[in-house]
Every structure is written in structure tokens, then in C-alpha cells.
Amino acid sequence: MSRADDVYVVGCGMHPFGRDESVTGMDMAERAVREALADAGVAWEDIGYAAGGSDVSGKPDTLVGRLGLTGVPFVNVQNGCATGASTVLTVANALRAGEASLGLAVGFDKHERGAFHVSAARYGLGDWYAETGMMLTTQFFALKTQRYLHDHGIPERALATVAERAFRNGSQHPLAWRRKPLTEQEILDSPVVSPPLTQYMFCSPGQGAAALVLARGDRAFDLCERPVRLASVAFRTRRFGSFEVFAPWLPPGPHRSPSTDAAEAAFRAAGVRPTDVQVAQLQDTDSGSELIHLAETGLCGHGEQEDLLVAGDTDPTGRIPVNTDGGCLAGGEPVGASGLRQFHEVVRQLQGRAPGAQVPGCPRVGFTHVYGAPGISACSVLTV
């Protein structure tokens, strides 16, 4: 059944997301790692390869000072919203290459309140772009969503339906930040940030950490009762013609997203179709992004989202449950941790031990998707 060069998730851990001034990013990362190790029933000394990611909360490899100075190779990655997926990809490739039989991926972050700070120079742009008030990620999400709703005839109410489901799922999840359900009307009536998006349709920068223990196929089934196979993970940067954040100009279109490229590659490598997915995680920095990502990843057709949402098809009990833990909307967005939060949730769902709402009927195929600046996406397929 299992092949030695297959990679499985055999343990996962997560520090609650949200705001807690008493802990640092590193504190949270340490707790997530220790939980993942305990979940897999292994010790830090057993880990032969590690990768970690954080956007603003320190060098991940310094965690060895807390976990144990074993000499383990520890790669730091910093890939924006794809950081978590990059750590998984790095560790999985090392295991497949025979570097080690057990590996660890960890992601963490702790951000300041409010919108992310930006630097025009860091994105290769002139100072004018930020000085004139155009360098805000919230504007990009609003502009992309506005055009998408226009092109596909989707009403703004669908954006509230997405957020309503996110907060409902978050309210049932012990590790989520936003735990209070909100009605569609409350979401529509919250202060406008950038139309068509309101305050409760956006996630907030927050804090959190998550970690996974990965094992080669020849070890996985000895360590774990129900290991989850990493059937594929694919990372893509943007190609010409994509519509990205911080873009002073765009080509006339059509605009193809790196999410589409990454999803297609992940499905192809895993040998499954989007219709096979029984539990999914989609980057939901805002309601519009999730709505668009549903179609960009192939989970539905462009313009089909409203019907899907209204029918409850994306609820935990629906045909294609999305963001069963409440996603970024309910969890907040600690950039380095969110990607691994997605893995944590999907792994636990496939193992039948979701911390929050469990998808009924023993789902066997899971999917994760992240998307971020300046046009990167990573997708994975997980199976049991």
C-alpha cells in the first residue's frame, strides 16, 4: 500500500489563533511544535529535517535553542501567504530525496493591529504609489471582487454569505479567533472598508502558529493510526497577464491567476479531480477572495458560486465543505501560520477528529489553497 517515497502527515499541532499579548511568535511556535511531536508520538531528537516560516516574528531556525540542539538541518522560508505551504514542500522534498525519514514544518506570526505596513521600494515601485494612497491590499481585493461580481453577475449579498458561514464555523472551533456568529445583515451593515467589501468581510492580521510532523511512507503507518497522505503540493508564481496586488497597470486580459496554475498542477500530480474534493481550504483574506478562489481552483465554475453558497453546499454538511474552521475570516491572518493552519484543519478532518465542525461521512480527499502577494499560490491534495 504505502511506498517509501510517499510522504504522510503523522502529527499536527496548533497554538490558538487570535490576540494574546502574553506570548511571542516563538512561544506559539514552540507550543505548536511540541503538540505536533506529541501527536505523532515522537521526540524532537527523531526529527531529521525541519523547515519553518515567519513573516515578522523572528528566524524560525532559532527554535532549535528551545527544542534541542540536535544539529538538525532547519531551512527558513519567507514566502508571504505561501510560507506554510513552502515549508511543507521543502520538508516533503527532503524526505522524498532520502535526507531523513521524519521531518517537521512549522509556521508562526504575530502582527501589529490594523492593515499591514507596506513599502513601495520593497515591491519595486516608486514612492508616489504609496504616497497617493494606492498601496493597500484591501483596495486590491475590493477592485478584483468588484470586477468579478460585474463580470459574472453575482450579487454583493453572496459576499456576506461567505462571511456568515466563516464566522458560524469559527464559533464552533476551539482554536479560532472570531467565535461569535454574525448574520448576513450584520455583515452587510458593518462599516464599509472598500466597496463592495465591508469590515466583517475582511480578515484581520493576527497571531498564531501551527506545525506538522511528516514521515516517509515506510515509517508513517508505524507512527500513526490514520496517517494522511500528502498526495501533492504545488507552488506557482504569477505569469504574464495575472491581476495582482500592487499593480499600477494590467494588460487588457483575460487575467489568469497563479491559483489556477497551482491548483491544476496539484490535482494533476495527485491524480484526482476537483469534483473528488470532500473538504477544502481556500485563502479567504476577504469574502471576495474566497468566492473567486472557489472557481479559480476549479472547485466550481465561474459564476456558479452564488447557487453553491445559497444551497449550503460549502457548509460542513454540504457537498464541498469550505473553510470548516472559519478560515482567515474567523482565524485572522498570521501570514506565516495560516498555510499550516489549513493543513492542520484538513488533516484533522480526514482523520475524523476535527476540533470544530466535523464533515460527516468520513471524507477521504482534502484540498488546501493559499494565495498572496505579489502573485503566488500553493495548493495541495491530501488523502486517506
Give the binding site for other proteins (CB under 8 A).
114-115, 117-120, 126-128, 130-136, 139, 142-144, 146-147, 150, 191-196, 240, 247-253
CB of 287 vs other proteins, minimal distance in Å: 14
CB of 285 vs other proteins, minimal distance in Å: 15
Q: Which is nearer to other proteins, 39 or 244 (CB)?
A: 244
Residue 357: HSE in the Cβ half-sphere, 13 Å Cα cutoff: 24
Residues facing 109 on adjacent strands: 208
Q: Cα dist. 35→13, 31, 104, 245, 296 in Å?
A: 5, 6, 12, 35, 34
Q: What are phi and psi of 168, to 5 degrees?
A: -65, -45
CB of 136 vs other proteins, minimal distance in Å: 6
Q: Which is nearer to other proteins, 127 or 218 (CB)?
A: 127
Instruction: Describe the strand order of the beta sheet including 102-110 as a list of residue ranges.
Output: 74-77, 49-53, 102-110, 207-216, 7-18, 228-237, 376-383, 365-372, 279-281
Q: In 3-state terms, what secondary structure has residue 117?
A: coil
CB of 207 vs other proteins, minimal distance in Å: 19
Q: Which is nearer to other proteins, 191 or 361 (CB)?
A: 191
Q: Which is nearer to other proteins, 197 or 350 (CB)?
A: 197
Asked if 40 contacts 223 with a C-beta cutoff of 8 angstroms, the reply is yes
Q: Which is nearer to other proteins, 250 or 311 (CB)?
A: 250
Q: Which is nearer to other proteins, 169 or 194 (CB)?
A: 194
Rounded Cα distance, 314 and 322, in Å: 5
CB of 188 vs other proteins, minimal distance in Å: 15
Query: CA nearest 321: which of 299, 293, 298?
Result: 299
> Secondary structure of 85-98 in the HEC alphabet?
HHHHHHHHHHHHCC
Query: CA nearest 375: which of 251, 254, 240?
Result: 240
CB of 53 vs other proteins, minimal distance in Å: 25
CB of 118 vs other proteins, minimal distance in Å: 8
Q: Which is nearer to other proteins, 124 or 361 (CB)?
A: 124
